């Protein structure tokens, strides 16, 4: 069987062709973004760009694909693990959001950590955005939900983003993946059962948007 034969069986030729044409940008390839990347790549999407600036350290090894390569740039290692993807080694800050050209991409998956970057990215590309909210401090993947940012609940990062968007008089919709599970620790403890599931859910939402969209 061909590599993606099982995907073709599931999606059908026309929808699988949509997946292969789609151009997706993933912001941040840590515990959430790396699993979104893996899922998209294995689903037959061939035009994937990842953007990150970090290097792996030992504490990443509980949840991040590629993290055995301690000390190496995440973008560099993931291009080895997923041949054919495009990597941009770039720090995400407000200046970057302002100047970056998002137009070539059909979908933006935001798995970044910085709230201000997430807020400004949402203002700029909300029409094609799927955003991850907080996945740390949780271990129950059954609590994960998908909703509009305005219907998300029980998540401190989501609350902050909503408040800041309201202050800016921004009322547009975009999709978020979140969990209302109560924090299970005070610090940023994490479990791949949740961070990975966030990434897979982002991938699922991307696939649905591609198949049901105009591509």
pLDDT digits (tens, 9 = 90+) for 33-53: 999 999 999 999 999 999 999
May I ask the CATH architecture of the domain 5-212?
Answer: 3-Layer(aba) Sandwich (3.40)
pLDDT digits (tens, 9 = 90+) for 170-189: 999 999 999 999 999 988 89
Tokens standing for residue 92? 């995400």
Q: Residues 157-165: what's their mean pLDDT?
A: 96
Q: Residues 184-198: what's their mean pLDDT?
A: 95
Kindly report the backbone phi and psi dihedral angles of residue 66, in degrees, each rounded to the nearest multiple of 5, phi listed first: 90, 0
Cα separation, 94 vs 85, whole angstroms: 25
pTM: 0.96
Kindly report the backbone phi and psi dihedral angles of residue 182, in degrees, each rounded to the nearest multiple of 5, phi listed first: -60, 140
Beta strands 145-148 and 175-178 are antiparallel
> Which pLDDT score, from 0 to 100, does residue 215 have?
63
pLDDT digits (tens, 9 = 90+) for 99-155: 999 999 999 999 999 999 999 999 999 999 999 999 999 999 999 999 999 999 999
């Amino acid at each position: 069987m061909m590599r993606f034969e099982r995907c073709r069986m599931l999606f059908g030729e026309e929808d699988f062709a949509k997946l292969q044409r789609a151009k997706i940008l993933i912001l941040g390839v840590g515990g959430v973004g790396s699993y979104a990347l893996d899922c998209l790549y294995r689903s037959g999407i061939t035009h994937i760009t990842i953007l990150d600036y970090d290097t792996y350290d030992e504490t990443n090894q509980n949840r991040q694909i590629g993290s055995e390569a301690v000390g190496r740039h995440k973008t560099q290692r993931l291009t080895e693990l997923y041949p054919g993807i495009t990597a941009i080694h770039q720090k995400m800050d407000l200046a970057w959001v302002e100047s970056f050209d998002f137009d070539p991409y059909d979908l933006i998956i935001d798995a970044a950590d910085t709230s201000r970057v997430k807020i400004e990215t949402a203002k700029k590309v909300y029409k094609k955005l799927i955003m991850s909210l907080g996945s740390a401090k949780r271990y129950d993947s059954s609590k994960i939900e998908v909703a509009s940012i305005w219907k998300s609940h029980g998540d401190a990062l989501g609350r902050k983003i909503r408040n800041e968007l309201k202050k800016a008089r921004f009322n547009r919709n975009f999709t978020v993946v979140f969990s209302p599970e109560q924090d299970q620790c005070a610090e940023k403890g994490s479990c791949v059962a949740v961070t990975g599931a966030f990434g897979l859910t982002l991938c699922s939402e991307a696939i649905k948007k591609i198949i049901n969209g105009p591509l």
